[in-house]
């Protein structure tokens, strides 16, 4: 076991860590921004819409073309794929554009089939993550990734980043139909890793990661402000927040 500490707080006796992926391991603005732009372009082409819809569709999905950042309120990366589809469908219907959730879902799937071949162009590891994972591994701490993305994507990404060997388990969208907020993905990971929830910590960039930690009765949830959620919002869910991995000391 290890203790995790910063200048302001300390978490003792940790034997396992559950990492989120987007905004925690990789830069979510680059990754999801690329996906959103492609989805918007595909919708415009399929529906014969004016190019002027591009910026608005990106905003509806949660990405600002002006700042090249994800919106703090999402929805992308904060809610399920199905909810994002519903939000896009609702917007288009308000614009008097008739399309079903199923049709949008099919377009998103087509976009993904192309994007996955270029995924590495949109993948950037966050500063300090690799060094942190290596140190934890050297101390025999078990690590898992829990993400709303699919396992195939996650596998490709961490192989590309050279960090696959650090993780004992990947939990993705197809692993369970229960969202993070239920705590189920964390409980599944704890059981598979054969560790105690009371000695397990979750690290993530969103409120749902902290809620998951509470629901699964983990030792703690550590919020990182490297994604789209501010420090103040994360502090509403956890007392443990960092702005970068260089703040963490593993002892």
Q: pLDDT tens-digit profile of 69-107?
A: 999 988 988 888 889 999 999 999 999 999 999 999 999
Residue 215 has pLDDT above 90, yes or no: yes
pLDDT grade, residue 108 (50/70/90)? very high
pTM score, two decimals? 0.89
Residue 150 has pLDDT above 90, yes or no: no
Please give the C-alpha separations between residue 146 and each of 37, 158, 163, 178, 216, in angstroms, as whole numbers. 25, 13, 15, 12, 13
| E strand or H helix at 40 | helix 28-47
Q: Tokens 């917007």, residue? A: 91
Domains of the chain: 2-27+124-250 (3.40.50.1000), 29-121 (no CATH)
Q: How far apart are CA 251 and CA 248, in angstroms?
A: 10
Residue 61 has pLDDT above 90, yes or no: yes
Nearest to 57 by CA among 20, 21, 111: 111
Share of the chain above pLDDT 90, in %: 91
The mean pLDDT value for 10-14 works out to: 98
């Amino acid at each position: 076991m290890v203790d995790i500490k910063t200048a302001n707080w300390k978490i003792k006796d940790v034997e396992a860590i559950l990492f989120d992926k987007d905004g925690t391991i990789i830069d979510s603005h680059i990754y999801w921004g690329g996906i959103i732009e492609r989805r918007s372009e595909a919708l415009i082409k399929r529906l014969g819409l004016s190019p002027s819809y591009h910026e608005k569709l990106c905003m509806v999905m949660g990405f600002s073309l002006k700042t090249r950042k994800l919106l703090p309120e999402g929805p992308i990366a904060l809610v399920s794929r199905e909810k994002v589809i519903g939000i896009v469908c609702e917007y288009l219907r308000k614009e008097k554009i008739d399309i079903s959730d199923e049709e949008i879902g099919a377009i998103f799937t087509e976009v993904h089939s192309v994007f996955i071949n270029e995924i590495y162009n949109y993948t950037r590891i966050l500063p300090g993550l690799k060094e942190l994972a290596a140190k934890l591994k050297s101390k025999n701490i078990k690590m898992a990734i829990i993400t709303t993305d699919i396992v195939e994507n996650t596998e490709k990404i961490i192989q590309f980043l050279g960090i696959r060997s650090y993780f004992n388990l990947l939990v993705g969208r197809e692993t369970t139909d229960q969202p993070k907020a239920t705590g189920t993905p964390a409980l599944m990971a704890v059981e598979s890793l054969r560790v105690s929830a009371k000695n397990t910590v979750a690290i993530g960039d969103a409120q749902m990661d902290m809620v998951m930690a509470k629901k699964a009765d983990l030792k703690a949830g550590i919020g990182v402000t490297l994604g789209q959620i501010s420090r103040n919002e994360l502090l509403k869910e956890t007392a443990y927040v960092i702005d970068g991995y260089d703040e963490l000391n593993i002892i």
